[in-house]
Amino acid sequence: MITTLLFDLDGTLIDTNPLILKSFEHTLGYYYPDRTFSHEELLPFIGPTLEKSFSEMDAELWREMVAFYRSYNIAMHDELVLEYPGVLDGLRDLKERGYKLAIVTSKSGRVARKGLELFGLTPLFDAVIAADDVTMEKPATEPFEKAMALLGATPEETIMVGDNDTDIHGGKNAGLKTVAVGWAIKGRAYLEALEPDLIIDSMKDLGDWLEQQNGTAH
């Protein structure tokens, strides 16, 4: 029986994509003033940790670039982060049904909690596992295992919901069923190629699927 739901945050529960893209545009525009990055070139930056993205671009300046990015990202956070229609109400419904909920994110705990607080989501989650809580990030199994340990859940009882390869591959690595959100910025074909157990178009879809999995559908 599925009792525990792990969620990615950015691009899954709250629409941070405009903020992330603007933050990368701002940072890359400063460090690479003679180069223009297209929307398609920026998309691969969504998902991996900042450390991974920037260290691959500049092995010497990446720490400075991360700090520059974070300064802008935090300053613009509340202005640019948006709500996905129906997602927050869907989360509240899942919580009312008795599911244990946790966040497993590649961003820092400080900024993750800022996003949860912005939309009044903090009380819904029993745990938040962020980049600074682990030594190995998604798709390594450590973040998922830490969340399950905190919630007293087994892999058989747990699913991972996300919008990126790190979420789906990481969930599979940890022995979980995986769910991809159909509103992911990288598109349906990208999600299908990851081969999750389910792609949802609304939080209601997730609730219905969980009832089928648990044999509680009416």
Active-site positions read 8
Residue with tokens 């159909």: 182
CA distance 135 to 25: 28
Report d(CA 167, CA 60) in Å as an integer.
29
- Which pair of tokens denotes residue 183? 């509103």
* C-alpha to C-alpha distance for 167 and 24, rounded to whole angstroms: 21
Q: In whole angstroms, what is the distance from residue 162 CA to residue 191 CA?
A: 10
